């Protein structure tokens, strides 16, 4: 008998859902999907999301939840109360995502108590990080507390690699740099299909600047603010998460408006964004000894050809030869067939959530 699987994905700015039919051979067939703006999850917000879907054929048998921070947990697994408590304890390491995702999870469990609920982690993809990437240059007792590089956007990176392999199997053995640019932004180095390095570390606040997130800072900045600004740690975290990045420079983080704005603040914000991403791509390529493929994804990475074009201009020395027409048209492959492959991918995190359940159902 076929089963119904519901994938729930709490993102930076959206709440997404997809329904799949799952047969006895574990073949997934998409039935419907929906997306709404993210609000504080509640029974009402879950109901609004479900109302955006066509009427389901039945109550879901399986519900899979995206969890940003899984700590040291590997692949996705079925949820139990012990695991839920562990994920609650990780909330301070992903405050923009984890508490909201777990609240939605609790709402869904109450709504469908007879369904099997499972979780998939964005951090799982980075279980293969190189030791020189995983270990931060901090005292050993802090490393023992779990303060290390975890990496994020794992479901998006997995989806991007799945798309690449579907068009060119050689990418599985290549050196691939993935740039996921959206509400959160990170760049990842993949060698022979395994994540080896990535820009985000302990939390999704680090790495390259995003629309509203600061990205990496001199640790002395935080110490200075704690000592002299009158702000406590919670207030500083809020400002860096919601008023950092592009918004800190231009007054907002809407890339569509920044591209059209010729004012000095908008120009500077865009230049900071482009340069930091280009530097991150070069750094990731350095860690894996070169670059065979460069992949863009995310709301900005996939939909903003002007941003991609400016990044290419900074990285011409890496041998990138983009095709301007294909880039402007938003094609899947946007190089000229010379030099490293350049790809523009629309990722499907909901599908990856559903696929993750195949390991435990």
| Matching residue, tokens 């280009």 | 278
Residue 309 sits in the same domain as residue 194: yes
- Residue 75 in any domain: the answer is yes
Q: Which two tokens stand for residue 131?
A: 């030791």
How many domains does the chain contain in total?
2
Residue 131 lies in a domain: no
pLDDT in tens, 162-205: 999 999 888 888 999 999 999 999 999 999 999 999 999 999 99
Residue 81 domain-assigned (yes or no): yes
Q: 111 and 219: one domain?
A: no
One domain, residues 34 and 99: yes
Residue 176 domain flag? yes
At residue 50 the predicted structure's pLDDT band, cuts being 50, 70 and 90, is confident
* Co-location of 109 and 228 in the same domain: no
Q: Find the CATH number of the domain harbouring 299.
A: 3.30.420.40
Contact in structure between 350 and 16 (CB atoms under 8 Å): yes
CA angle in degrees (0–180, nearest 5) for 92-226-152 = 30
For residue 62, is it within any domain?
yes
Out of 97, 121, 145, a domain closes at 121
**Please, what is the average pLDDT of the chain?**
94
80, 114, 122, 143: the active-site residue: 122
What's the whole-number mean pLDDT along residues 105-118? 95
Residues 109 and 180 in one domain: no
Residues 92 and 192 in one domain: no
Residues 73 and 187 in one domain: no
Let me know whether 222 and 292 are in one domain.
Answer: yes
CA 102 from chain center: how many Å? 17
36/256: higher pLDDT: 256
Q: Is residue 276 one of the residues assigned to a domain?
A: yes
- The answer to whether residue 110 scores a pLDDT higher than 90 is yes
Q: What phi and psi, each to the nearest 5 degrees, are found at residue 314?
A: -75, -20
What whole-number percentage of the chain has pLDDT above 70?
Answer: 98
270 pLDDT more than 70: yes
Is residue 23 part of the annotated active site? The answer reads no
SS (H, E, C) the chain: CCEEEEEEEECCCEEEEEEEEECCCCCEEEEEEEEEECCCCCHHHHHHHHHCCCCCCCCCCEEEEEECCCCCCCCCEECCHHHHHHHHHCHHHCCCCHHHHHHHHHHHHHHCCCCEEEEEECCHHHHHCCHHHHCCCCCHHHHCCCCCCCCCCHHHHHHHHHHHHHHCHHHHHCEEEEEEECCCEEEEEEECCEEEEECCCCCCCCCCCCCCCCCCCCHHHHHHHHHHCCCCHHHHHHHHHHCCHHHHHHCCCCHHHHHHCCCHHHHHHHHHHHHHHHHHHHHHHHHCCCCCEEEEEHHHHHHCHHHHHHHHHHCHHHCCCECHHHHHHCCCECECCCCCEEEECCCCHHHHHHHHHHHCC
Q: How does residue 26 score in pLDDT terms, banded at 50, 70 and 90?
A: confident
Q: What is the mean pLDDT of residues 19-28?
A: 90
pLDDT band at 25 (very low <50, low <70, confident <90, very high): confident
Is 137 within a domain?
no
Give the per-residue pLDDT at 1. Answer: 58
Is the pLDDT score of 331 beyond 80? yes
| Same structural domain, 82 and 203 | no
85 and 173 inside one domain: no
- End of a domain among 99, 121, 143? 121
* 77 and 166 both lie in a single domain: no
* Residue 100 shares a structural domain with residue 177: no
**Can you give the residue range of the structural domain that contains 45?**
3-121
Task: Summarize pLDDT for 69-103 with one digit per residue, the tens.
Answer: 999 998 889 999 999 999 999 999 999 899 999 99
Asked if residue 359 is part of any domain, the answer here is: no
pTM: 0.95
């Amino acid at each position: 008998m076929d089963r119904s699987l519901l994938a729930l994905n709490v993102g930076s700015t959206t709440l997404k859902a997809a329904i799949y039919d799952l047969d006895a051979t574990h073949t997934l067939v998409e039935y419907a999907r929906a997306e709404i703006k993210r609000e504080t999850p509640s029974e009402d917000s879950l109901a609004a999301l479900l109302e955006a879907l066509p009427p389901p054929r039945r109550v879901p048998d399986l519900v899979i939840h995206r969890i940003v921070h899984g700590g040291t947990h590997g692949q996705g697994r079925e949820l139990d109360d012990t695991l839920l408590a562990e994920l609650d304890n990780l909330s301070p390491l992903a405050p923009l995502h984890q508490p909201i995702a777990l609240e939605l999870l609790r709402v869904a469990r109450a709504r469908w108590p007879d369904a099997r609920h499972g979780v998939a982690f964005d951090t799982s993809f980075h279980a293969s990080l190189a030791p020189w990437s995983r270990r931060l240059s901090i005292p050993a007792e802090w490393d023992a507390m779990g303060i290390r590089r975890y990496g994020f956007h794992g479901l998006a990176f997995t989806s991007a690699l799945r798309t690449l392999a579907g068009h060119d199997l050689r990418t599985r053995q290549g050196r691939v740099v993935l740039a996921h640019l959206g509400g959160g932004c990170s760049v990842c180095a993949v060698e022979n299909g395994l994540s080896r390095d990535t820009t985000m570390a302990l939390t999704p606040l680090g790495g390259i600047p995003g629309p509203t997130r600061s990205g990496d800072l001199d640790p002395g900045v935080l110490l200075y603010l704690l000592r002299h600004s009158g702000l406590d740690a919670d207030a500083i975290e809020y400002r860096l998460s919601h008023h950092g990045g592009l918004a800190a420079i231009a007054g907002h983080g809407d890339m569509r408006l920044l591209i059209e704005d010729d004012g000095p603040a908008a120009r500077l914000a865009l230049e900071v964004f482009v340069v930091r991403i280009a530097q991150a791509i070069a750094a990731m390529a350095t860690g894996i000894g070169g670059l065979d493929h460069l992949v863009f994804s995310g709301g900005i990475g996939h939909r903003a050809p002007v941003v991609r074009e400016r990044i290419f201009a900074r990285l011409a020395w890496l041998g990138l030869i983009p095709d301007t027409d294909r880039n402007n048209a938003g094609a899947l492959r946007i190089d000229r067939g010379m030099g490293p492959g350049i790809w523009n991918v629309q990722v499907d995190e909901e599908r990856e959530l559903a696929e993750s359940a195949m390991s435990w159902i």
